[in-house]
Structure 1
C-alpha cells in the first residue's frame, strides 16, 4: 500500500475531542492494552498530528503522527499500528516469522507467500482469516511489517504452507516508514522457551537416557575452507556473518521458486546427523562470536533462543528433537563432559551457563561460516584445448584449472619442444587462439608462462562467492570493492555512504543497525541510484574509523577489498 510515494492533502494538529475519540477507538481495537500502554500510543498532552493522504492508487486514508513518527493509520474506520508502534509494543499483534531476504520483496509491494513463513517448533500462532498480524524476521522479535491473514492457521497447514498467506499493508522501509525519523528496527529478544509438556516429557524418557561421552564434533566444522595456494592467482577473502545478498523489491508477489533458494543444501548424512552438525555449528559460533564473559551466568534457554538461533544459517532451523540428543539439556551435558562449559542449576528447575572455557581447542579451532571469494575464469567453446578436457562454454575455471587443462592439452598433442622443454610448439589450434595476425608467421614456440598468460588474457573474468550452506553465486567481471565515500550536506554536515556490501554477502540493514548502535547516529538504507536491486548505507558524520573496525576486525574482510578507508578522520591527541 505504501510501496510508492503518496500525496499529502492536509496535516493538522489533533483537537482535544478527537484525541479522546482516538484513544477510545484504539482501546476498542486493541483491548489488551493497559491504560499506561494506551497513553504511550495516544499521548495525553504532547503534539499529535492528523495527516490526510492519498496513496498512489488513489485510496484516501488518515495517518496519526507523534513527534513526526507515524503511530497509527486508519482505513475505512479501521485502525492499524505502524512498525514504529509495534517496536515499542511487539506483542500487540500475533506474529509470523519470515527470512531476512524476503523483507525487500515486501517493502517493494509484495504479499507474503506461505513458503516464506518459518514454522517454529512450538507451532504457528492460531489466527482466523482476516486477522491483522505482525511479520518478524528470524532472530529478532521486532515486527518489520503488518498484514492481513488470507486464511486461518488450520487452513495454512492444510494447504501444506502453499499459496498466499498475508496481504501486506505496511512495512519497514516503505513510504509510510519514511514519513518518520527512519530509524532501524530494534533488536528484541524472543521470549523464554516454553516448558516441555507432560506428553513430550514422557516421550523423551523413552529415549536413551545416557549422554554419549566425548561425542565427536563434525570434522567439517573444524576445516578451514579459506586455504588457498598463493602460487595460484586465485584471490580469496573471508567474510563474517553469512547474509544473503538483497533481492530486488519490485516484484508484486514472492514466488515459491525464489524461496526455494533459501533452503539449505542436501548432503549424504542422515537428517539426525545433519541436525547434530547444525547444533555444533550454532553452538560454537555463538560461544566464539556472540557470548561475552560479562554476560555469564546465562540462562540456557536464553542462550538457545537469543544466541544459537541467530547463528543458524539461512534456510535452516534448529530442532532439538530431530537430533540424537532430543533435549537441549542433554546436548549441554555432552558439552560439559568435554569441559567446554559448565552448567549449574542456580534456581529450582532453571539451569544457567556459569563458565565457558574459551581456550578450549573446539572453540578456538572453530571457523565461523566463511564466504569463500575467488576469481574464476570463463571458458569459451571456441577453445578446443578446453573441450578436450571435457569443459563446456558455460563452465568457469580457476587459474589452476586453466593451467591443468593447458598442460593436459600440450602433453596429449605432444607439443613440448624436444630440444628445450621450457618451450611449447605452437600448433594451428594454439596459433588461432593465442596469436594475433602479425605473430602467426613469426612465432612457432612459446614459453610455458607466456602460453598460460596469453590464454588467461583471452578469457572473460568471473568472480564467485560461496556462502556456507548455499550454492555459489557466480557473476561476470571482477568484483567491485566495498566503496566508502564522504558527502557534504547542508549546514556543513558530513555523511558516510557505503556501497557494494551485498557483493560480499553482508546485509546492508544489519551493517546500518550495528553502526547506529555503536556511534549513536542516524543510519538509513536507500536504493542505489541507477541500480534497482542494489542499496547503500548512509550514516551521519564521518564514521570511517568505526566502519573500518567493523569490516576489518569483525567481518575479517581483507583491506584490498575496501575502498575509501584513507578518508578516515585523524584522531587528535588528548591534551
Structure 2
C-alpha cells in the first residue's frame, strides 16, 4: 500500500482533545491487550499510542486507497486508518508503533530473504510462511490483522491482513504447502510510510526474544516439560547467550525441496524399508548424534567465514557479538538436509560461548568478552581449515531460491502491462531559489508529497512558525518569493495555505507510461478520459469515450474488448473538434455502459480520478 509515495496527502492538523479521545478509545477497542500493558519507561500506554502533539491528515495511496494518517509531533507515523468500504473500521499500527508493542498482534514467521520481496511490494505467499514442526501459527480468521516477523527476531517487519485463515495455514504443517497468498501486505519496514518517520536502527535486542513463536528450527524436545524448558532457556540467557533463546530441535524447517528423499528414508531405517508410512515417520523424527551436530556447526561457521564475513568486509562487520554471529550467520548457513537440524544445545559444547572459546583454541578465530558478552574480534584467514573448506548449499540459499520462485510465479500471474500515471511539479523562476536553498535542484520534478515535506522541513529548520500562533508562518527572504503571488507584499501566511501557494508557483508536469519504465515528464496536467452518456435519435442511450490515446490505450483493441464485454455494437469515429494531426478518435457503444467501460479502464491501470463522467440523459429528459 505504501510501496510508492502517496498519490495525495492533505495538510496535517493537530487533533482536538475530543478527536484524540475518540481515536484512543477506538485503538483500545481494536487492541484490548493495550489496556493491561505496563508503562514503558515510565510513560503510560495511553500517552504512547496517542501522544501530545498528535496530528492527522487525509491521504490517498498510489493504488487509490483513501485513508487517514496519524503521526506524532515530529511527523513519525503511528497509526493509519483505511477508509474504503471493505475496511471501513480498520485502524492499523505502523512498524514504529509495533516496535514499541511487538506482541500486540498475532504474527507469522518467514525467511529473511522473503522480507526483501515484501519490501519490493509483494504479498506474502503461503510457501513463504514457516509452518514446519512447532512453529507457532495463530488461529486467526481471514481478513484479520497479522504481523510478519523474520526468522529469529521478535520485532515485526510488516503488517497486513490474512488472505486465508490461520487454520488453513497450520494444516499445511509437515506437507507441501498450498499455493496462493497468505497475507495481503499493508505496510512494511523501509516502505514510503516508514520513510516519513525518524527511521531508527533496529532495537538493541533485535535478535532476542521469545523463541516458540519465531523459529521453526528451535522447537523443544518432547522429553522436557514446559517448566523445565523455560528454566533451562532462562539460565542460558543469563549465563552465556545474553538473551539469545535457543532450545532443542525436534525437526527441520521443510521447504519445497527439503523433504527427505526415498534414499534418505532407506538409509535412516533399513528395517522399515518395506513400510513407507513408518519410514516417513522415522525420517520426520530424525535426531542427529552429537558428533554430527558438532560437525554441522563447525561447517556452518567455516561457510560464514569463507563466504559471508570475508577478509574484505571484516573491517565493517567486526567486532560482532556472539548472539548476532550465531542467529544471523551460523544458523542460516547450515548445510541443507540433515545438517539443518543442528543446534548448539544438541552439541557437545551445549552453550554458545563455550563453543566459540573452543574454536578460538584452534587458532581459527579470536574472541573477547566485553561487558559480559562474547565478541568475535578477528579471523585467521590463513588457517588450514578455512583454506581447505569448499563450501556447501545452505538453508538460507534454499529459502532465497524458494522466495525467488514464488516471486516469479506471482509476477507471472500479474505480468500485464499496467499503466503508471504520475504528476509532478517543477520549480519556476519564483520558487527555484527556495528549492536550491533546501539543497534540491531547481530543474527537478517533485511529487506533491515531496513538495510538502521539503516545505515543512524548511519551516522547521528555520523556525519560521509564529511563536504566538503556530498556525501562522513568517516569510523570510527565501520563502517570500516562493509563496507570494506576483506583486503581492505579505510577510505571513496561514500554515495550511503554504503548500498550495508553493505549488501555484511551480509548473505541473505528468508522466503516463508502463510500470518499470524510466518516467519522462511532459508539461501540463493529465487530461482525463471523458465518458459521456446521452440519448441519440430514436431515444436510444449510448456511451461515448474519448481521450484513450493520452493513456496509451489502443482504441481499436479497446473497442473490441468493450464490444465483447457489453454484447453491444461499437463505432469508432474521429473526435469532433480535435486537430487532424493528433488523430484522436471517439468510441461509441450502444446502451448505458459507464460501469463496464470504467471497470475495463481501471483494469488497464487508469486511476479513477482521471476518468470523468458526464450524464446528458437527464438534461434530455
TM-score class normalised by the smaller sequence: 0.3 to 0.5
- The structure with the largest helix share of the pair is 2
TM-score by length of 2: 0.40
TM-score by length of 1: 0.43
Relative contact order: is structure 1 or structure 2 higher (C-alpha 8 Å, sep ≥ 6)? 1
Structure showing greater Rg:
2
